[in-house]
Amino acid sequence: MGLNKLSVFGVNQVYSILVVDDEEALRKQVVSLLISHGYQVDEACDGMEAAQKIAQHPYPLALCDVRMPRLTGLELLRHIREHEFSTTVALITAHANIKDAVEAMREGAFDYIEKPIKEATLLEIVAKAKKAHDMIEKLTLSAPMLTPGEGRECVGQSKEMKRVFQVVEKLTRVNTSVLVRGENGTGKELVARAIHFNSPRKDGPFVAVNCAAIPETLIESELFGHEKGAFTGADQRQIGKFQSAAKGTLFLDEIGDTSPATQVKLLRVLQEHAFTPVGSSREIKSDVRIIAATNRDLEKMIREGKFREDLYYRLNVMPIFLPSLKERRDDIAGLVNHFIEKFNQEHGQRITTLSPEALSALENFHWPGNIRELENAIEHGFVVESSSFLTFASLPDYIKRATRRAHSPHKTTLQVEALDWERGKESFEREFIVQALKKNSGRINLTAEIANIPKNTLLRKIKKYNINPREHGGWEGNLES
């Protein structure tokens, strides 16, 4: 607990590159260029040898020829993804094989370089791949976590969350009641699980009850159980949640939504460690730890006579307050990385890179739904994205719009303009092309191919809207290309 999550490769991994080409002269040329720029380099004479080397050493980057005997570049890429090796692949391709390279990009290659190789282009691609790698590596190394059991993790590196983790750690060693406060989606249930699964009760049950979701007439029997015939419809004896949580933890979610009658009974369990099922005269001893949660203003409810003050003090022995996500933006990068890993596993996908524009949009959004909303935004990215990158374009539209609005110097003019149909269409077209170019590093041929726009149309629109492909990362973004 409170540990730093360690990357599999250790902290000081060198950025080593595997150069794969059956043409020896070309391979040597690339190798010596990279060595002269300070990279650690290894080589393989075809795809098969490369696959063997990658299995033994986690090269962050492989530069691969497309056409090779035994295993082609595309086959090597598929092999890497199937085995979930972390190697990023960039392809070296003759112009004649450009279709294969585009296909490889769709399947998750990082980029491609056309032969004859321009040194500057090669170095730029390598630098870009290294930057993306360093970013992910940094995120992986810097996310302290709590393990709430069942393979879940509670991630946070902001000073606010570090403080929460310290309190949680203390709470795992005592048996007091806990009250977890925070807005919707801030992780209240996750923190409750973290306390339970790191406490001596971890082998006992964790039972969650949402007090707001149970009708007033049923809540007592739900919590404390009932005898057969206790009320109309009670045709069988039933045990309550307090009994099913014996030797474990009972999580009372939305405690602020309980009625005064239920509050009295809860107070009694907390004080006397005993309860009586509905319709019974027999008292049952309770060995349950209670963790309650709410997003309501309990202090105000007490003033208004809606929440019992004595229950509040009983629960509030050790309060935990979870700040909203916008109050701890330092956590966003770590959470994004955490959710990328999570969905890579759940969706069997392999997203390895998050673009800086996407991260910045996520870091600046106001997140009214907090971490749950961030989690959904990343999952949205997984659904729309078939490559191995999450980019600004893969974010949900409402986040993209909010980001653009925040960066637009002419907010009102733009909105008024958009009310005109023709102008609206034009502004969409322009935005679409800018995003498509950004996604494809400003390269015209690739953008036309991937966004499915005839190249001539694309060139015409670029001129019409006065877009500069170079601004979007293109080093060969030449209108004449």
Candidates 152-160, 239-247, 438-446, 470-478; binding stretch for ligand ATP (CB under 6 A): 152-160
Pick from 60, 144, 156, 277: which binds ligand ATP (CB under 6 A)? 156
CA-based end-to-end distance of the chain: 55
Alpha-carbon gap, residue 356 to 397, rounded angstroms:
18
Residue of 221, 223, 377 whose CA lies nearest to 288: 223
In angstroms, give the least distance from the CB of 190 to Mg ion.
8
- Candidate list 5, 79, 372, 430; residue touching ligand ATP; CB under 6 A: 372
With CB under 6 A as the contact rule, the residue among 72, 158, 186, 199 that binds ligand ATP is 186
* Binder of ligand ATP out of 47, 108, 144, 182 (CB under 6 A): 182
Q: Minimum Å distance from CB 290 to ligand ATP? A: 16
Say whether residue 188 binds ligand ATP (CB under 6 A).
yes
Contact pick of 20, 54, 139, 154 for ligand ATP (by CB under 6 A): 154
Min dist. Cβ of residue 186 to ligand ATP (A) = 5
Segment near ligand ATP (CB under 6 A); pick from 72-80, 114-122, 344-352, 371-379: 371-379
Interface with Mg ion in residues 379-418 (CB under 5 A): none
Question: Which CB atom, from 31 or from 332, has the smaller least distance to ligand ATP?
Answer: 332
Stretch that binds ligand ATP, among 112-120, 151-159, 220-228, 280-288 (CB under 6 A): 151-159
Taking CA 130 as the corner, what is the angle to CA 129 and CA 131, rounded to the nearest 5 degrees?
90
Q: Please, which residue, 186 or 435, has the CB nearer to ligand ATP?
A: 186
Smallest separation, CB 141 to ligand ATP (Å): 16
Stretch that binds ligand ATP, among 72-80, 133-141, 183-191, 408-416 (CB under 6 A): 183-191
For ligand ATP, the closer of residues 328 and 438 by Cβ is 328
- 3-state SS track over the chain: CCEECCCCCCCCCCCEEEEECCCHHHHHHHHHHHHHCCCEEEEECCHHHHHHHHHHCCCCEEEEECCCCCCCHHHHHHHHHHCCCCCEEEEEECHHHHHHHHHHHHCCCCEEEECCCCHHHHHHHHHHHHHHHHHHHHHHHCCEEECCCCCCCEECCCHHHHHHHHHHHHHCCCCCCEEEEECCCCCHHHHHHHHHHCCCCCCCCEEEEEHHHCCHHHHHHHHHCECCCCCCCCCCCECCHHHHCCCCEEEEECHHHCCHHHHHHHHHHHHHCEECCECCCCCEECCCEEEEEECCCHHHHHHCCCCCHHHHHHHCCEEEEECCHHHCHHHHHHHHHHHHHHHHHHHCCCCCEECHHHHHHHHHCCCCCHHHHHHHHHHHHHHHCCCCEECHHHCCHHHHHHHHHHHCCCHHHHHHHCCCHHHHHHHHHHHHHHHHHHHCCCCHHHHHHHHCCCHHHHHHHHHHCCCCHHHHCCCCCCCCC
In the complex, least distance from residue 289 CB atom to Mg ion, rounded to whole angstroms: 18
Stretch that binds ligand ATP, among 196-204, 234-242, 267-275, 367-375 (CB under 6 A): 367-375
Site string for Mg ion, 347-386 (x = CB under 5 A): ----------------------------------------
Closer to ligand ATP by CB, 167 or 190: give it.
Answer: 190
Residue nearest to Mg ion (CB): 189
Task: For the CB of residue 403, give the shortest distance to ligand ATP in the complex, in Å.
Answer: 22
Report the residue number, 137 or 341, with the smaller CB distance to ligand ATP.
341
Q: What character string, x for contact with Mg ion (CB under 5 A) and - otherwise, covers 154-193?
A: -----------------------------------x----
Nearest to 312 by CA among 267, 261, 249: 267
Range 330-359, binding ligand ATP (CB under 6 A):
335, 338
Inter-residue contact 196 to 188 (CB < 8 Å): no
> Considering only residues 271-330, where is the footprint of ligand ATP by CB under 6 A?
295
- Closest residue to ligand ATP, Cβ-based? 187
Select from 190, 136, 35 the least CA-distant residue to 355: 136
CA distance 338 to 347: 14
Considering the rule CB under 6 A, would residue 189 count as an interface residue with ligand ATP? yes
Q: Which is nearer to Mg ion, 43 or 189 (CB)?
A: 189
Q: Give the total of residues touching Mg ion (CB under 5 A).
A: 1
* Contact residues: ligand ATP, CB under 6 A: 153-156, 182, 184-190, 295, 335, 338, 371-372, 375
* Contact residues: Mg ion, CB under 5 A: 189
